[in-house]
Amino acid sequence: MTAIVSARGLHKHYGSLRVLDGVDLNIEKGAIVGLIGPNGAGKTTLLKALLGLCRFEGELEVLGLDPRRQRHDLSRQICFIADVSVLPRWLKAGQALELVRDIHPLFDMDRARSYLDQTRIPMNKKVAHLSKGMITQLYLALVMAIDAPLLILDEPTLGLDILYRKKFYDHLIQDYHDRERTIIVTTHQVEEIETLLTHLLFLKDGKLVLNTSMASVADEYCELMVPKDRAQAGRDLGPIGEREVFGRKLFLYKGVERDVLGRLGELHTPGIVDLYLALMKEDAA
């Protein structure tokens, strides 16, 4: 396996605020990694560190390069979608395509057009006269058409309507299968990416409280649904999460044998939201 990202002991402070607090991370080629965490957890800061866009302490290699010293080389191999649209407002949509074609050697015009065909953006309109969602669509089309081995998406679908968000992720996965890519994505709409991911990272107060493959989630974690009158038996097995669903109790366990749990009720593999709720509790981790 080739490491695309290799980080040891990443730290970042803003004054007395500790934003990254000892992050260790390996991301292998071909992974689709979801970076999930509450507001202010440090997700964007971590992505900025990977891109060489902020200073930090610790060891970090991305695509075999040091983002602090080789940011320029790195930027040619990473396609980065930020959560803000940075397109000049005076530019017409069609001109934006030509501009990126002229400045980025890995830009694929046909691919950009195929993204834009899915939208209702008039190519002769200025960015200033497009809707907020259209500006994001245009920006996504431009950036997604850059044929880079590493794709970093920071809240890519913020402000987009449901239909286009679905199209975007369909496109993303198609694109992933068409070319060899590694993808890191942050979003608060985790249900949308749940089925795409191969790896899951939970960041809380600058620390990774979960760093695992989706396959390991299914092996390690298990949900048990029991009638309320069996709740105590469920609690006795040491769940890491407990909540009520339609008058029954849903417990989440880590590392407890499925055979043992299965005697009490129905078993499921937990979804990302349930894992998140259990692991992000104030007293957890």
Ligand X SMILES: Nc1ncnc2c1ncn2[C@@H]1O[C@H](COP(=O)(O)OP(=O)(O)OP(=O)(O)O)[C@@H](O)[C@H]1O
Tracing tokens 């939970």 back to the chain, one arrives at 202
Applying CB under 6 A, does 41 fall inside the site for ligand X?
yes
If phi > 0 it is left, if psi is from -120 to 50 it is alpha, else beta; for residue 261 that is alpha
From 5, 23, 31, 37, residue interacting with ligand X (rule: CB under 6 A): 37
Applying CB under 6 A, does 157 fall inside the site for ligand X?
no
Q: Which of the stretches 34-42, 162-170, 190-198, 251-259 binds ligand X when contact is defined by CB under 6 A?
A: 34-42
Rank residues 82 and 100 by Cβ distance to ligand X and give the closer one: 82
Shortest Å distance, C-beta 45 to ligand X? 3
Rank residues 41 and 256 by Cβ distance to ligand X and give the closer one: 41
Applying CB under 6 A, does 153 fall inside the site for ligand X?
no
Shortest Å distance, C-beta 188 to ligand X? 7
Applying CB under 6 A, does 42 fall inside the site for ligand X?
yes
Containing H/E element for 61?
Answer: strand 57-62
57-62: strand order across its sheet: 17-28, 3-14, 57-62
The most distant pair of C-alpha atoms in the chain lies apart, rounded to whole Å, by: 67
Applying CB under 6 A, does 262 fall inside the site for ligand X?
no
R_g (Cα) of the chain, nearest Å: 21
From 2, 16, 39, 174, residue interacting with ligand X (rule: CB under 6 A): 39
Residue 192 DSSP SS3:
helix
From 4, 31, 36, 44, residue interacting with ligand X (rule: CB under 6 A): 44
What are the helix and strand counts (H, E) for the chain?
A: 10, 13
From 27, 33, 43, 100, residue interacting with ligand X (rule: CB under 6 A): 43
Structure tokens belonging to residue 38: 């509450």
Kindly give the pairing relationship between strand 182-186 and strand 32-36.
Answer: parallel
Applying CB under 6 A, does 40 fall inside the site for ligand X?
yes
From 1, 14, 90, 124, residue interacting with ligand X (rule: CB under 6 A): 14
Closest CA to 236 of 251, 225, 247: 251
Interface residue list for ligand X (CB under 6 A): 14, 17, 19, 37, 39-45
